[in-house]
Amino acid sequence: MGAFYEDLNPERHSDEYRFHADSIALEHSRALMDNSCRRSKLDWALEAARLGYKVFPLGRHPIIWEQAATDSPKKISSWWKFGGIGEGCNIAAALRPSEITIVELIFPAGRKGIELLRDVVADLPTTRTVITPRGIHIHLRGVTASSLQLPFQGVSIKSAGDFALLPGSQEYIDAHHSRLAPYYWKSLGPISSVPQQLLAEMAKDEHAGMATRLPKRATR
């Protein structure tokens, strides 16, 4: 298994979270939760914009999210400020304008998915990753025409026409809405392009219309 796949192996991160045998939810440590709460949502949203994401507040206020998504500090500040429409809302990235495709691994099923994904993409490049309350988001540069549920247990693709939550966001991990868990950066390195092997696998689904467009500009 390649070095990046080894790093994704959940068994290597027992200090960060533990897996429940009867649930896909992840129990995050109190330290992680405290770190997420010490920074404001506005701080997290501005950081995401600096990293190149087009963001919008995911919450109770109706906005046309893909068209509204922005990396403008002025607009972001107006949304997440006290009394703004995004106050207290999670930070979401619109994937088409951000030119991002995300491979989502949902554990514990995603542990097997890592093995199956490796069979298609033998050398997944080292790239930016996010730990989520349910697993891991692998961020790749490039946009596909739609999202796709790959035939790998616990693995799906999120891309154009979709969005993804970013660090600073939190989700309930129990049915009673009593426990929150954060999203946080696992790796903040450069974003690698979508591997051609993965594009070929996605292109097999003709019904989904997997026309693919990779950006001309260099990766961040």
Strands 155-158 and 90-94: unpaired
Is domain 3-38+99-213 given the CATH code 1.10.287 in the classification? no
- Two tokens, residue 2: 């390649």
Identify the sign of the CA torsion 39, 52, 185, 161.
positive
Domain boundaries along the sequence of the chain: 3-38+99-213
Q: Please list the ranges in the chain whose pLDDT falls under 50.
A: 14-31, 34, 206-220
Question: Mind listing the pLDDT tens digit for each residue in 132-150?
Answer: 988 889 999 998 766 666 6
What is the 3-state secondary structure of 89-120?
CEEEEEHHHHCEEEEEEECCHHHHHHHHHHHH
What's the rounded Cα separation, in Å, for the pair 22 and 158?
A: 25
Question: Mind listing the pLDDT tens digit for each residue in 71-108?
Answer: 999 999 999 998 888 888 999 999 999 999 999 888 76
Say which residues have a Cβ less than 8 Å from residue 14's Cβ, sequence separation at least 6: none
- Two tokens, residue 182: 């954060």
Question: Whole-prediction pTM value?
Answer: 0.79
First-residue to last-residue Cα distance in the chain:
26
